[in-house]
Chain A
Amino acid sequence: MQTRKTLITTVLAAAGVGLGGMSGAAASTGFSDDVVRIGVLTDMSGIYTDLSGEAAVEAVRMAVEDFGGELNGTPIEVIYADHRNDPSVGASRAREWYESDGVDMINDLSNSGVAQAVAGVAKEQQRHAIVNSSSTLAITNEHCSPYATHYTYDAHSLAHGTGKSIVEEGGETWFFLTVDFAFGHGLEEAVSEVVRNAGGQVVGAARHPLDTTDFSSYALQAQASQAEIIGIASTGADAINAINSLAEFGVTPDQQPAALLLWFDDVDSLGLEAAQGLLLTNAFYWDADEDTRAFSERFYERTGRMPNMAHAGNYSSTMHYLNSVQAAGTDDPDAVSEKMRSMEINDFFADGGYIRPNGRMVHDQYMWEVKAPGESEYDYDYMELVSTIPGEEAFQPLEESTCYLLDD
């Protein structure tokens, strides 16, 4: 009897949700449910907390406050959740947000596995998702949609920054230390392609699980490969531990480690002594010019840390979304998407940035070299600009994208 009752309640509840969803869709002129709601889906407790986490939420809040906190009298609300680096957790939270919590746009999306899963949900639910802190090319290829935007960087821009410049300097044979999930695989693949196109050779790869502490065994494998370059296709604590182990086992100087995705926070954690000379392909550095410094100092006052490129991207993309909603005069996802992909982005983060039909935000990328301890003159003075990679070169050419939106 009890089970029957529960079953009936469940069916009724499910029907209720369905109806609720329909009424939400029907009211698609103006602002749905009288609030513009932004959800920040991020890593609040795992390995990528420093890269995204609470500071990402703060960046989005800053953008909302700077925008004025409301859109023609409709309040803008920011909520957040932890995806625990689990694509299924991320996807179900995204579905719940879109379906029953009236979330109009999800931002940040660290972890490539989570980002892919959420891009899928966004497409199905026809709501916006903006990827700032992960690299998977799937967002602008097989998982593309009018609602998914890939904003700050991606595997292609990393490969054509750090990867390409090392190949050009003569690094011919490569061995990869790759983190064993979508992000690592995608990055390894993109860099391998650059290496092969330049006449280089990939001699092997070792795959390690996410959040590995002991890299000694991988360091030995890298050593045994005798490759000139050890490409580190991981980031955050993984990349830091890999760099330390390679140094400990005397892999350098015959072999050169190349960290393919390093963040400002990684350099901070490694310290300049260990990190000096490493190359970073980052879309943003706090100390680049007047505008970046102004933003970064405000950010620092709120969070106690300097922003990295994803934090800056979170701010810039939120602002762009809100500007697009305002220009469209509605939060209807299709109308907003059209505005987002037609309006140019000019702020401290991007100069003449624009979003391609497949959702790729095109803007310049920069290659930085980590300073030696003696060269650093003040707090957080870590990097020097090596070169600027124009957006058109940094990102995947549109004709190579497999996005279905480009078919006609």
Chain B
Amino acid sequence: MDLFGVPIQALLGQLMLGIVNGSFYAVLSLGLAIIFGVLKIVNFAHGAFFMLGAFVAFMAGSYLGIDYWAALLIAPLVVAGIGMLFEYLFLRRVYGLDPIYGLLLTFSLVLVLEGGFRVAFGSSGQAYATPEALRGAINLGFMILPEYRAFVVAASVTVCLATWYVIERTRLGAYLRAATERSELTGAFGINVPLLVTLTYGAGVGLAAFAGVLAAPIFHVNPSMGSTLVIIVFAVVVIGGLGSIFGAVVTGLGLGIVEGFTRVFYSEFSSTIVFLVMVLVLLVRPAGLFGRTEG
């Protein structure tokens, strides 16, 4: 059976892949949205922290013999630590300034990190083995789905839900939301807002690193692995509505699927479609699909 001249099987296959890719976008844009929501900083270094997560997993594996499952926990923590240090030493100095300073500062971190890793590990990258337990593949009838990719979707959805729960349903989340809305007033209630901000940045880049570890066995671990992804993730966040957590997750998955379909019908256009969607959405809803207009 065909749909627009393309076999249904192929379409289902691409739909599945779209969901897999979309879950990467979702985790990455979630972190970006949280950081923007609280810090009002466009974290250009998000892709670099994603790459850092993958490299920390790789280095932990090859130098210390730490396996994938432990790395999935350790790498995000290590990267979150590095992120918090960066926030404490540098980023907090630009909060009151024009947003362009934050953008430049985080972008410079990208150049330093990518350049450093390129010198140390080369541009072709390093192989990271898929964990033993997930080496197989599931035959879905319309496609062969590697077990590991199915795991990526499950892990991403779990992390997104957990993050949402923490922010919307716990006391810590309530503080965080309060600090976002009225940071001075929150401080007046005796809550340490600067600490909260540092922790938020740590959590955001920790999510990026988590996605990086998930990506390590799929993509070759290389210094530029984050830079191609991060541009799309920015578009996702803009389309979803800056600072909207729900919007980031849903848009991430949705755009993954749109991109997957584009690859079937007109592959050359697949790297552009996301931006076309962005333009269209901004024309109709300047605040993004799930964003609120100020005031």
Interface residues of A (CB under 8 A from B): 45-50, 53, 180, 206-209, 211-214, 216-218, 220-221, 223-224, 236-237, 240-241, 244, 248-250, 265-266, 268-271, 274
Contacts and interface: CB of A to CB of B under 8 A. Distances in A.
B144 interface: yes
Given A241-B219, A241-B220, A220 B127 contact: no
Nearest to A266: B124
Nearest to A244: B220
Contact of B118 (A49, A211, A223): A49
Interface string B222-256: 10110011000000000000000000000000000
Contacts of B17: 216-217, 220
B124 A207 contact: no
B29 interface: no
Interface stretch (B7-15, B70-78, B83-91, B176-184): B7-15
A211 B122 contact: no
Interface residues of B, number: 40
A240 B126 CA distance: 10
B127 A265 contact: no
Given A180-B268, A269-B220, 18 more contacts: A47-B123, A47-B224, A49-B123, A207-B267, A207-B268, A214-B218, A216-B149, A217-B14, A217-B17, A220-B14, A221-B267, A223-B143, A224-B7, A241-B220, A244-B127, A248-B130, A249-B143, A269-B127
B194 interface: no
B127 A270 contact: yes
A342 B268 CA distance: 44
B264 interface: yes
Contact of A221 (B10, B114, B146): B10
Contacts of B219: 213-214, 241, 244
Interface in B84-127: 114-115, 118, 122-127
Nearest to B135: A248
A269 B125 contact: yes
Contacts of A266: 124
A211 B149 CA distance: 21
Contacts of A214: 21, 218-219
B263 interface: yes
A383 to B, nearest CB: 17
B161 interface: no
A257 to B, nearest CB: 15
B271 interface: yes
Contacts of B263: 206, 217-218, 221
User: Top 6 closest A-B pairs, CB basis?
Assistant: A49-B123, A269-B124, A217-B263, A250-B144, A213-B219, A50-B124
B123 A46 contact: yes
A230 to B, nearest CB: 15
A313 to B, nearest CB: 19
Interface string B259-276: 010011001101100000
A271 to B, nearest CB: 5
A209 B274 CA distance: 14
Nearest to A54: B119
B267 A208 contact: yes
Contact of A269 (B10, B122, B148): B122
Interface in B26-45: none
Contact of A248 (B13, B146, B270): B146
B155 to A, nearest CB: 17
A265 B124 contact: yes
B150 to A, nearest CB: 12
A216 to B, nearest CB: 5
Given A240-B124, A265-B124, A45 B218 contact: no
A221 B264 CA distance: 8
Contacts of B224: 46-47, 211, 237
B195 interface: no
Given A50-B124, A220-B13, A221-B10, A250 B222 contact: no
A274 B271 CA distance: 28
A213 B127 contact: no
A212 B126 contact: no
B214 interface: no
Contacts of A213: 215, 219-220, 225, 228-229
B54 to A, nearest CB: 11
A249 B144 CA distance: 6
24 contacts: A45-B115, A46-B123, A49-B118, A212-B228, A214-B218, A216-B17, A216-B21, A217-B263, A217-B264, A218-B263, A220-B17, A224-B7, A224-B10, A237-B220, A237-B222, A240-B124, A249-B137, A249-B143, A250-B137, A250-B146, A265-B124, A268-B124, A269-B124, A269-B125
Contacts of B225: 213
A220 B124 contact: no
Contact of B10 (A211, A220, A249, A250): A220
Nearest to B127: A271
B243 to A, nearest CB: 27
Contacts of A221: 10, 263-264, 267
Interface centre among A53, A208, A216, A269 (most CB of B within 10 A): A216
Contacts of B48: none
A132 to B, nearest CB: 17
Contacts of A209: 271
Given A209-B271, A220-B14, A221-B10, A248 B218 contact: yes
Contact of A265 (B10, B21, B122): B122
A209 B118 CA distance: 21
B125 A240 contact: yes
Contacts of B270: 217
Instruction: Output the residue of A47, A49, A237, A244 with the most chain B CB within 10 A.
Output: A237
B205 interface: no
A236 B123 CA distance: 8
Given A213-B228, A269-B220, A270-B127, A220 B267 contact: no
B56 to A, nearest CB: 18
A45 B118 CA distance: 8
B262 to A, nearest CB: 9
Contacts of A48: 123
A191 B260 CA distance: 28
A149 B229 CA distance: 37
Contact of A211 (B146, B218, B228): B228
